[in-house]
Amino acid sequence: MCYNTGMDMDIFYEQDREARSLLECNVNHNRVFPPHFHLDLELHVLKKGAITVNVNGMERTIGDGTVTVIDSYDVHSFSEQKTGGWSDLLLIIPYSYLARFNAMRKNFKIVDPFICDPALCDELIAIADRFLLNPEFQDDENVKTCAIDLMLSLLCKHIRFSEKKERDDGALARQILAYVQEHYRENVKRSDIAKALGYTETHISRVFHRFLRMGISQYVNKLRLSELERLRKQGDGRTTLELLYEAGFQSQQTYYRAKQRKTTP
């Protein structure tokens, strides 16, 4: 899904990341990546090296001891990575982990995503090494949640927030995505979302389309197609008909229409 943002570049919405909804933590990988955005908060900790980062049109070549905090829906890209002694950490934090952080920030927007503080870098990397990259805690959600809360609490002491709260539409878009992610296997309707979140159907549709550049039903069916593909790869012998219903499609016709729309340029 690409469109022009007025920033002189095309971006894409990284839908697959949200469909997985997994906490991702990795070190010392190739970070060059084109402009994109997603619901998850992204944290890049550069202990040593240099890379050019663009966040919402704010471009900076960062070096040793720099933390970049990429907020939900921030358009961002990485380019011109300079290797040689490269050492970094990249953390993708799903929205479900952000409750305490969002409460602490009181919905204020981040003014400057770049924090140059080598000591903070060392603290964040140490927490990740001890609790997120340690195989001992790989399947322990409580430990992961506590580790993320600690990291974000440390960050809050260094982040400069705006005095103006973000528009409610941004928060609402996140709520819609979270609701749809939880209920897409059901017969979810726009009216269900509106009732659950306390807005009119028209407002729900308008906000969703403005942020995602597609309708809710189209997005729901994309999630179902991804789930169907995942179920197929399990190879348990079930038919496509059985799997499409499990993935959330209400009929074969809906499935074929969604499939055709996906493959039509």
Q: What is the pLDDT of residues 102-126, one digit of tens each?
A: 888 876 888 899 999 999 999 999 9
What residue spans of 157-215 are helical by DSSP H? 168-183, 190-197, 201-212
Question: Where do the structural domains in the chain lie, given as residue ranges?
Answer: 2-165, 168-263
pLDDT at 168: 58
Separation between Cα atoms, residue 147 and residue 121, nearest integer Å: 15
Judge whether 205 and 215 are in contact, CB under 8 Å. Answer: yes
* pTM over the 0.75 mark: no
Condensed to tens digits (0 to 9), the pLDDT of residues 49-103 reads: 999 998 877 889 999 999 999 998 787 889 888 777 899 999 999 988 998 998 8
Of all residues in the chain, the percent with pLDDT exceeding 90 is 51
pLDDT at 126: 97
pLDDT at 11: 52
Which letter, b or e, does each residue of 172-192 get, where b requires 16 or more Cβ atoms within 10 Å of its Cβ? bbbbbbbbbbebbeeebebee
Quickly name the fold that domain 2-165 has.
Jelly Rolls (2.60.120)
Question: What confidence category does residue 1 fall into, taking pLDDT thresholds of 50, 70 and 90?
Answer: very low
Condensed to tens digits (0 to 9), the pLDDT of residues 137-191 reads: 989 999 999 999 999 999 999 998 887 655 557 668 778 887 888 899 999 999 9
pLDDT at 264: 59
Contacting residues for 81 by C-beta, under 8 A, at least 6 apart? 30, 31, 32, 49, 50, 51, 52
Tokens of 15: 């839908």
pLDDT at 19: 67
What CATH class is the domain 168-263?
mainly alpha
pLDDT at 103: 85
Separation between Cα atoms, residue 1 and residue 250, nearest integer Å: 25
Separation between Cα atoms, residue 82 and residue 67, nearest integer Å: 17
Condensed to tens digits (0 to 9), the pLDDT of residues 188-247 reads: 999 999 999 889 999 999 888 877 677 899 889 988 998 898 899 888 889 999 999 999
